[in-house]
A and B are shown apart, each in its own frame.
Chain A
């Protein structure tokens, strides 16, 4: 254990970064898998597939919804407001995986689901971190 730790430190930066990336990837994969029926999950899986990071067992149903232009916002008639809302819609589209192809209603639904999945993921990771911290400290004591 100590050896491992000491070996880790000289390359700490890159090693940790690399590990971080892998972990993040794993988290993404987990996230993508967690909600099979959702558009954003499908899009996420597609993206991971493209990067060949996702093992190929899951069957990807190609989401064939045609890309829909962002609709005119439904707020009042002020053009400026409309513009603002449009901008934000686009930003949200970018945030949610697969969002570019969704129309407004769909986007909101997917966003809500995506938020929930993210919340859950954060919780799991936090729990993991806590757990492993605890283990670390216990381990240190034992050593």
Chain B
């Protein structure tokens, strides 16, 4: 099982940034270690193990995905049961949509969906992930560490399914399929299935209940059309979902592929509606993470209330602190505006990251204040000449620093660093989404 653990952690490792990997490494190893069964022979126990494991993987990747996509919930190891349904916004997020298929799966879907979803991650960069995923799953069942190549999971499953022959091409019965899959997973030794082999069977198995041309379609375009494998995988996963119901004709690849749930309307409108709802609820969960104390709250209205209160309180804090800063000694006054603007910008500056973590940084009230004090006084005097009480000296950061004087750089940096120390010491959650541009993501990471 150790090899499995390693492979699984390796799986998560390749997912995104390094810090994420480290985090998930431990999480994964802890999770993986819990299914303590040794590689069992093919059978129901094996399927259970696999199911559990991949389910956990799914949750981890769910977290990972939300981390990547929505916020660095690095500390959020709670197993969100939400499916990886909502793709992040393609334009703004650096991570391509992880789940090109925004499938609205209920939380308790089987492992196959999660596994499939995980392997559905976008194109190129994530192929490694899916490859490892497949590696993991195969090794799970087969103690086989020999899996190579990307995007093997789907192919693997497909092959096994066809091999198992239980549910060849029938996506309706997820349960049966699941079993068939597991059996085939167990049975197939080397799962290095060629994609060619997989493709036909995958195509056969395609669930084809797709919603075309929804607004998310554009977002999905890249990932959906990028890899045939992905599509196949998605379809495979959809096949394995419990609630697959009707089948639609295979849509063009650049549409959101959504599966209709059993017993629900299958027209495109309600499907799109459901997709949207899933997206929104996922975003709300992200917000829940950000706002402290929101986890225990249930219900949209109350949660929105909390969020509103929190935003208002933050805004009030900014006002209060600005007033407080105003009451501080006069010499500092002229620098304050520059300081704040530059601080905020530097706080988000990529280059700051390297300098940022001041583990040993002395607290403001200590000796550090001495040299800073003299610097500030000197600077304020010089500044008074330069900027008569105006707020707008800001010609760009390079210029500003030239104006203020080179020695300010260190001070500002130290201030920001102290700010980060305080942030770290405070109860700020270290989450963020993978925001739109590099600046926001940097900001988050610094937190």
Chain A positions within 8 Å of B, measured between CB atoms, are 1, 4-5, 7-8, 16-27, 29-31, 33-38, 53, 55, 57, 73-75, 81, 84-85, 88-89, 91-92, 95-96, 104-105, 108-109, 111-139, 142
Report yes or no: A138 in contact with B440, Cβ–Cβ below 8 A: no
Which residues in chain B, 26-77, are within 8 Å of chain A measured between CB atoms? 70-71
Interface status of B426 (Cβ within 8 A of chain A) = yes
Contacting pair A85 B338 (CB below 8 A): no
Q: A23's contact among B286, B312, B336, B432, by CB below 8 Å, is which?
A: B336
| Cβ–Cβ contact B329 & A128, under 8 A | no
- In the complex, the 6 A-B pairs of residues with the closest C-beta atoms, listed nearest first: A30-B344, A37-B436, A37-B437, A127-B419, A26-B337, A19-B326
Q: How far is the CA of A95 from the CA of B365 in the complex (A)?
A: 35
Partner of A123, one of B345, B394, B423: B423
A35 to B340, CA, bound (A): 15
Contacts known (A37-B436, A125-B318); A30 close to B92, Cβ less than 8 A? no
B369 within 8 A of A: yes
Whether the pair B321, A126 counts as a contact (CB closer than 8 A) is: yes
Q: Which of B161-196 contact A (CB under 8 A)?
A: none
Contacts of A17 in B (CB 8 A): 323, 326
Residues A55 and B395 in contact in the complex (CB < 8 Å), given A26-B336, A88-B305, A116-B447: yes
Output the nearest chain A residue to B426 by Cβ-Cβ distance: A123
**Nearest residue, chain A, Cβ from B365:** A134
Which of B12-20, B106-114, B129-137, B274-282 forms contacts with chain A?
Answer: B274-282
Q: Which residues of B contact A55 (CB under 8 A)?
A: 392, 394-395
In the complex, are the beta carbons of B422 and A130 less than 8 A apart?
yes
Complex alpha-carbon distance, A142 and B171, angstroms: 80
Contact across chains for A134 and B436 when beta carbons are under 8 A apart: no
Question: Please, how many angstroms separate the alpha-carbon atoms of A19 and B325 in the complex?
Answer: 8
Residue of A nearest to B446 (CB): A120
Instruction: Give the most central of A30, A104, A105: most B CB within 10 Å.
Output: A30
Q: Is the interface of A mostly helix, strand, loop or mixed?
A: helix
B287 contacts partner chain A, Cβ-Cβ < 8 Å: yes
Report yes or no: A88 in contact with B301, Cβ–Cβ below 8 A. Answer: yes
- Interface stretch among B141-149, B238-246, B258-266, B370-378? B370-378
**Which residues of B are found within 8 Å of A125, using beta-carbon distances?**
318, 321-322, 325, 340, 419
Please state if A118 and B328 are interface contacts (CB–CB under 8 Å): no
CB closest chain-A residue, reference B336: A23
Shortest CB–CB separation between residue A137 and chain B, in angstroms?
Answer: 7
CA distance A118 to B314 in the complex (A): 6
Known: A85-B300, A113-B433. A127 touches B314 (CB 8 A): no
- CA separation between A123 and B311, bound complex, in Å? 15
Assess whether B340 is in contact with A30, with CB atoms less than 8 Å apart. Answer: yes
Structural contact, B365 and A57, CB atoms closer than 8 A: no
- Establish whether residues B322 and A124, one from each chain, have CB atoms under 8 Å apart when the complex forms: no
B311 touches A92 (CB 8 A): yes
Q: Mark B384-426, 1 if CB is under 8 A from A, else 0.
A: 0000000110111000000000000000000110111111001
B422 touches A127 (CB 8 A): yes
Any chain A CB within 8 A of the CB of B103? no
Partner of A22, one of B283, B291, B337: B337
B304-338 CB mask vs A (1 if < 8 Å, else 0) is 11011011101101110111111111111100111
Chain B residues within 8 Å of A, Cβ to Cβ: 70-71, 89, 92, 276-277, 279-281, 283-284, 286-287, 290-291, 299-301, 304-305, 307-308, 310-312, 314-315, 317-319, 321-333, 336-345, 347-348, 363-366, 369-370, 372-373, 376-377, 391-392, 394-396, 415-416, 418-423, 426, 428, 431-433, 435-437, 439-440, 443-444, 446-447
Inter-chain contact B369/A122, CB cutoff 8 Å: no
Given known A-B contacts A25-B391, A111-B287, A126-B321, A132 and B344 have beta carbons under 8 A apart = no
| B376 and A135 within 8 A (CB) | yes
A127-B308 contact, Cβ under 8 Å, with A88-B301, A115-B314? no
Residue of B nearest to A81 (CB): B301
Task: Say which residue of A75, A89, A128, A138 sits within 8 Å of B325 (CB atoms).
Answer: A128
Give the chain A neighbours of B310 by CB distance below 8 A: 115
- Contact call B422/A92, Cβ cutoff below 8 A: no
Q: Which residues of A contact B304 (CB under 8 A)?
A: 85, 88-89, 91-92
The docked-state distance in angstroms from the alpha carbon of A118 to that of B328 is 22
Which of A20, A95, A113, A121 is B326 in contact with, Cβ under 8 Å?
A: A20
A5 near B330 with CB under 8 A, answer yes
Pair B447/A120 contact, Cβ less than 8 Å: yes
- B301→A84 contact, CB < 8 A: yes
| Residues of the A chain whose Cβ atoms lie less than 8 Å from the Cβ of B331 | 1, 4
Does A108 lie within 8 Å of B286, measured CB to CB? Answer: yes
Tell me the bound Cα distance from A135 to B437 in angstroms: 36
How long is the Cα–Cα vector from A55 to B342 in the complex, in angstroms? Answer: 13
Sample of 21 A–B contacts (CB below 8 Å): A8-B330, A19-B325, A29-B341, A75-B301, A88-B308, A105-B279, A108-B283, A109-B70, A115-B290, A116-B431, A117-B443, A120-B447, A123-B419, A123-B423, A124-B344, A124-B416, A127-B364, A127-B419, A130-B365, A131-B364, A131-B372
